[in-house]
Amino acid sequence: MTRFFISGLVVCLAVAGCHVVPDTGRRSLSLIPMEQEIALGESTFAEIKDAETVSDDREKRERVERVGRRIAAVAERDIPGLDWEFVLFEDDAINAFALPGGKVGVYTGLFQLVETDDDLAVVMGHEVAHVTARHGNERMSQYLLVSAGGIALDVALRNRETETRQMALMAYGAGATFGYILPYSRSAESEADELGLYYSARAGYDPRAAPRFWERMAEAAEGRASPPAFLSTHPSHGRRVSDLENHMPRALRYYEEARQSR
Ligand SMILES: [Zn+2]
């Protein structure tokens, strides 16, 4: 783990394969060229739309779209060519996901826990943050480093499209039913929580909905044989709520500004 961290750091310093995450200032590893990252997100999302059923609940679909766009409007910073898409899939799973390029999927099962738009904004903020922080690129880059080491790195940096794309597809595990979405790292999840809180507040949604929403999520997990997928790869509940409380003063400042500018 330490060795991996150091090698990541060296690469970060040595080449331009680095991205500074807006709002947190963290440097993240990004070896996949932006256009390829976006193209991969788009093709994977197209596959998912083919394989899954898009919900025919028009009211909920529009809600997902409206809240998602309002959040994306205040979140988008330095990533050109993002084409946001917010799609509601018919599935009882309490889950949502995000892919590079601005592709966000939400499952109807999530509405078991969503009451207000503030609640929905918690999820949309979190998923939009995975996109703007380029967590997909980071995950693929880490995979390239770990699994194929120098060769893959060389390929990625020389921008030889086919090879890089194949590696990236492997990193996504594309093809297996829903295995295509590798879990993000714990730290990426925490960062998405933090950024999501700021985004929803800037978009005018009450950030205090977040700890309450995750509370309900944790309750929903209790007594289930398998917890909601959304929880299994995410920070432990206690840690998550205490982190959110730490970020709350900053989020509340954004929320006040958003309300006053209306
Ligand atoms: Zn997440």
Residue 54's pLDDT is what? 96
Give distance in angstroms: CA of 34 to centre of ligand 1.
21
Give distance in angstroms: CA of 186 to centre of ligand 1.
9
Give distance in angstroms: CA of 158 to centre of ligand 1.
30
DSSP state of 1: -
How do 85-89 and 18-20 pair as beta strands? unpaired
Average pLDDT, the chain: 79
Task: Report pLDDT digits (tens) over 83-122.
Answer: 999 999 999 888 888 888 899 999 999 999 999 999 999 9
Give distance in angstroms: CA of 235 to centre of ligand 1.
9
- Lowest mean pLDDT across 1-5, 52-56, 138-142, 208-212: 1-5
- H helices of the chain, in order, are 2-14, 34-51, 58-75, 117-132, 135-143, 149-158, 161-172, 186-202, 209-221, 229-232, 237-260
Give distance in angstroms: CA of 126 to centre of ligand 1.
6
Residue 174's pLDDT is what? 39
DSSP string covering 131-174, please?
A: HHTTHHHHHHHHHIIIIIHHHHHHHHHHT-HHHHHHHHHHHHTT
Give distance in angstroms: CA of 124 to centre of ligand 1.
10
Amino acid at 105: G
Residue 172's pLDDT is what? 47
What percentage of the chain carries pLDDT values higher than 70?
A: 71
* Domain locations in the chain as residue ranges: 16-260
Answer with the residue of higher pLDDT: 86 or 152.
86
Give distance in angstroms: CA of 260 to centre of ligand 1.
30
| pLDDT, average across residues 28-52 | 82
Distance, CA of 234 to chain centre: 11
Give distance in angstroms: CA of 97 to centre of ligand 1.
7
Q: How confident is the model at residue 211 (pLDDT cuts 50, 70, 90)?
A: very high
Whether the per-residue pLDDT at 6 is higher than 90: the answer is no
Residue 245's pLDDT is what? 95
CA distance 203 to 209: 14
Answer with the residue of higher pLDDT: 106 or 142.
106
Residue 60's pLDDT is what? 98
Residue 205's pLDDT is what? 98
Q: How far is CA 159 from CA 66, 152, 162, 200, 253, in A?
A: 36, 10, 9, 36, 42
CB 243 within 8 A of CB 235: yes
Whether the per-residue pLDDT at 239 is higher than 70: the answer is yes
| pLDDT, average across residues 18-26 | 78
Residue 77's pLDDT is what? 67
What does residue 106 show for φ and ψ, rounded to 5 degrees? -125, 140
Give distance in angstroms: CA of 44 to centre of ligand 1.
17
Model confidence pTM above 0.85 = no
| pLDDT, average across residues 220-225 | 70
Whether the per-residue pLDDT at 176 is higher than 50: the answer is no
